[in-house]
Amino acid sequence: MTNVYRYKENPIIEPIDVTPLHKNFEVIGAFNAGVTEFNGETILLLRVAERPVSTDPQIVKAPIYDVVNKKMQVIELDKGDAQYNFEDPRTIRRADNLGTFFYLTSLSYIRIARSKDGHHFKIDDQAFLYPFNSYQEYGIEDARCTKIGNTYYVNFSSVSRFGVCDSLISTKDFISYQDEGNIFAPENKDVLIFPEKVNGLYYALHRPSVSNVFNIWLASSPDLRSWGNHKQLISTRADKWDSGRVGGGIVPIKTEAGWLVIYHGATRNNRYCMGAMLLDRFDPSKVIARLENPILEPEASYEEKGFFGGVVFGCGGIVKNDTLRLYYGVADTSMAGCEMSIKEILAQLKEAKLE
Amino acid sequence: MTNVYRYKENPIIEPIDVTPLHKNFEVIGAFNAGVTEFNGETILLLRVAERPVSTDPQIVKAPIYDVVNKKMQVIELDKGDAQYNFEDPRTIRRADNLGTFFYLTSLSYIRIARSKDGHHFKIDDQAFLYPFNSYQEYGIEDARCTKIGNTYYVNFSSVSRFGVCDSLISTKDFISYQDEGNIFAPENKDVLIFPEKVNGLYYALHRPSVSNVFNIWLASSPDLRSWGNHKQLISTRADKWDSGRVGGGIVPIKTEAGWLVIYHGATRNNRYCMGAMLLDRFDPSKVIARLENPILEPEASYEEKGFFGGVVFGCGGIVKNDTLRLYYGVADTSMAGCEMSIKEILAQLKEAKLE
């Protein structure tokens, strides 16, 4: 097992800390934040999920943002409607389970939280990334931030009736940004862009959804906007903690031993943990090692319980010498922080054998 | 309706015309060919489907090519096995219908047919494209060929346990080729690469599969190998001939009026027709017009009946002045040819209004 020091003040950000942007909405999640450092501060690119307040327990509401008319629409559905499946609190599905989902029960966007000490955060009053095209009418989720030169590249899931695709923006100031387009076609999420070129090309991990198969793939790019040479990198492992799905976690960390990748995995029952693998420094398509056990599991009460419990989901971290300060979403509700030793994880990876 | 002149000798190529490459296999399909001209000849990049001969009607065989060991494996399944669904003659699915498919009942690869007159074809003895990596262990399907400069780019579906992705090779002689990688991650097929840059970028249509939604998307590229800026272009239309799925057909044709795209559409009952749309010449993300009715439907007996009947599926054509010589797969079995007037299709598109 990996030694994890969880912050005493966890969760460090909760929904109650965030003022909703929409009238008659409540914030139900402030989680799964991308992470970087900017102007001497730790920046969390928080996923804020807002839900229309519902007074009638028989009615489920689904918010959709009409980007063209800049207007929030709220669809109301009756829980008794046999057309729909309301089992998952996050989504409204077709009763026949065909298709991924019809609607989401909340709309997410990206809002920045800033901290000088990495523990106490102040949350911006406004959104940094709010749905700006029709691929985002159901929201923007799970940002990752990669700094290349003096530019910050932020990628995220764009969710709409067209499915889930992965989109990219670039910014130098976290105020304005440039739209770099949808970089992976649906269904795709959990993209991690490497922080530098390897042998003349940019690399990214991505996670296409092939029916009920959720594995991590690798792609390369000359310009960060266009991606090719798609290869499957790792797959789920039967009967293990990552038997149901795997997907990118935090932006790969360059070490002497290779690229350290912290990824998430889940069982078919949606228990989400974080694990580690090591990729060849000069050829990221070569998996050198993968840990048998997770490095972080839902154990604390704030990880076990919440809107969608039993989830730790890291989208970013800060490396300080040997310490990885991992910030991670808990229970699809709040943000927590923890620290781990990179040397310890690398030593475990050195011990681990590839099956 | 569009006037179609079907070749009198249709089907122009049938499975019986093709000698199987594998011992104890039979050719069950010679269809869905990419098309180009090379050295004064019409070249068809035939999809040849070979199936292990089965003498026991209770046993269904699934061929898988082990690329590493260069060895064909044949898996035998009992039709009584409740784990599987054998309803579709093309695939073996899970009985619970989760996932797309487990196995295919035949293995496809690409073989060249050549003709001096466009009507009479001689088929090469060997494959041009035979599975060369693990993404193709179930086969290579539905090639399209785009000539840019003096290089021919051939893209096709690579089918494996990893899903269906789209791959690219380039060739100058149709003997040797260069692997350009998987250009679209799974699930994706029916990619059409435009024959020239538009405003400094290459363009392609592609068809991601988002659960049970099959729409045509557009992407751009600086180098043909890496693709980004994904946008949905057209979707299926309820209660029409293309209500179930749409996907690219033949390589877009440059006209004064814009890019003429011949695409395929199918109903939920898998009746496949060919239709037409027109894209802005300087911005292919703008759909100028789309025909209400198909330009080609399964009507002839060789289109109505076969391994998978009720299918016309064009992957390529040759333009001679105003004439489009369209070569198309029929009933997932054979190849047919027909001719249409491009002016007539453009006139119909001019009449057509976008809904």
- Which ranges of chain A have pLDDT less than 50? none
Give chain A positions within 8 Å (CB) of B215.
162
Write down the pLDDT at residue A34: 98
Distant-in-sequence, close-in-space partners of A240: CB < 8 Å, separation ≥ 6? A265, A292
pLDDT digits (tens, 9 = 90+) for B175-220: 999 999 999 999 999 999 999 999 999 999 999 998 788 999 999 9
- Confidence tier at B353 by pLDDT (50, 70, 90): low
Tokens at residue A51, please?
Answer: 């839900």
**Per-domain residue ranges of chain A:** 5-351
Smallest CA–CA distance from A169 into chain B, residue: B229
pLDDT band at B89 (very low <50, low <70, confident <90, very high): confident
**Integer distance in angstroms from the first to the last C-alpha of chain A?**
19
d(CA B218, CA B148) in angstroms, rounded, equals 19
Q: Count the neighbouring beta carbons within 10 Å of the beta carbon of residue B124.
A: 13
Residue partners of B295: CB distance under 8 A and separation at least 6 = B2, B4, B262, B274, B275, B276, B340, B345
- Whether residues A217 and B183 touch (CB distance < 8 A) is answered with no
**Entry pTM:** 0.96
Q: How far apart are CA B201 and CA A239, in angstroms?
A: 46
Q: Residue B86 has what DSSP assignment?
A: -
Please give the DSSP secondary-structure letter assigned to residue B12. S
Tell me what pLDDT residue B207 has: 98
Q: How far is A213 from A157, CA to CA, in rounded Å?
A: 18
Distance CA B65, CA B159 (A): 11
HSE-CB for A202 with a 13 A CA cutoff: 21
> Residues of chain B whose C-beta is under 8 A from some C-beta in A?
98-100, 162-163, 165, 180-188, 206, 208, 210-213, 215, 217, 219-223, 225-232
Give residue-wise pLDDT tens across range B302-348: 999 998 999 999 999 999 999 999 999 999 999 999 999 999 999 99
> Are residues A227 and B229, on separate chains, in Cβ contact within 8 Å?
no
Tell how far CA A311 is from the center of its chain: 12
B171 closest CA partner among B281, B39, B71, B352: B39
Instruction: Using DSSP, state whether B348 is helix, strand or coil.
Output: helix
Q: What is the pLDDT of residue B296?
A: 98
Query: Looking at residue A321, what DSSP letter applies?
Result: T
pLDDT tops 90 at residue B273: yes
Nearest CA in chain B to A168: B229
What is the rounded distance in angstroms from the CA atom of residue B245 to the CA atom of residue B268?
A: 7
Contacts of B165 in chain A (CB under 8 A): 230
CB A192 within 8 A of CB A249: yes
Q: How many CA atoms lie within 13 A of A349 on its CB side?
A: 25
The dihedral through the CA atoms of A337, A340, A346, A348 has a sign that is: negative
Residues A183, A168: contact at Cβ < 8 Å?
A: yes
Q: Locate all alpha helices (DSSP H) within A219-326, ordered by sequence.
A: 301-304
Q: Give the residue on B whose Cα is nearest the Cα of A232.
A: B162
Q: What are residue A279's DSSP bridge partners?
A: A259, A287
Q: CB–CB of B225 and A225 under 8 A?
A: no
In this complex, which of A180, A185, A228 lies closest to B188 when CB atoms are compared? A185
Helix locations, chain B, DSSP H: 301-304, 342-351
Closest partner residue to B206 (CB to CB) among A98, A185, A230 is A185
Top-level CATH class of A5-351? mainly beta
Which residues are paired to B81 by β-bridges?
none
Q: Rounded to an integer, what distance in angstroms lies between the CA atom of residue A76 and that of residue A63? A: 9
Q: Residue B354 — very low, low, confident or very high, per pLDDT cuts 50/70/90?
A: low
Of A187, A210, A228, the CB nearest to B226: A228
Q: E-strand spans in A211-271? A: 213-214, 216-221, 226-234, 245-248, 253-255, 258-266
Report the Cα B5 to chain-centroid distance in Å.
Answer: 21
Residue A27 in tokens: 């914030």
- What is the DSSP track for A53-112? --S-TTEEEEEEEETTTTEEEEEEEETT-TTEE--STTEEEETT--SS-SEESSEEEEEE
pLDDT at B288: 96
At B77, the pLDDT band (50, 70, 90 cuts) reads very high
Of A330, A326, A354, the closest CA to residue A341 belongs to A326
Q: What is the dihedral of CA A252, A255, A256, A259, to 10 degrees?
A: -10
Sheet-wide strand order for B91-94: B84-85, B91-94, B103-104
Contact A22, A41 (CB under 8 A): no
| Least-confidence region, from A188-192, B81-85, B115-119, B248-252 | B81-85
How large a percentage of chain B has pLDDT more than 90?
A: 90
DSSP A185: P
Name every residue whose Cβ is closer than 8 Å to that of residue A267 and which is 6 or more positions away in sequence. Answer: A241, A242, A243, A244
DSSP state of A305: S
Question: Which residue type sits at B167?
Answer: S
Confidence check: pLDDT of B355 > 60? no
Contact B185 A215 (CB under 8 A): no
Neighbours of B38 (CB within 10 A): 16
Cα–Cα dist A156/A111, whole Å: 13
Q: Which chain A residue is nearest to residue B236, measuring alpha carbons?
A: A162
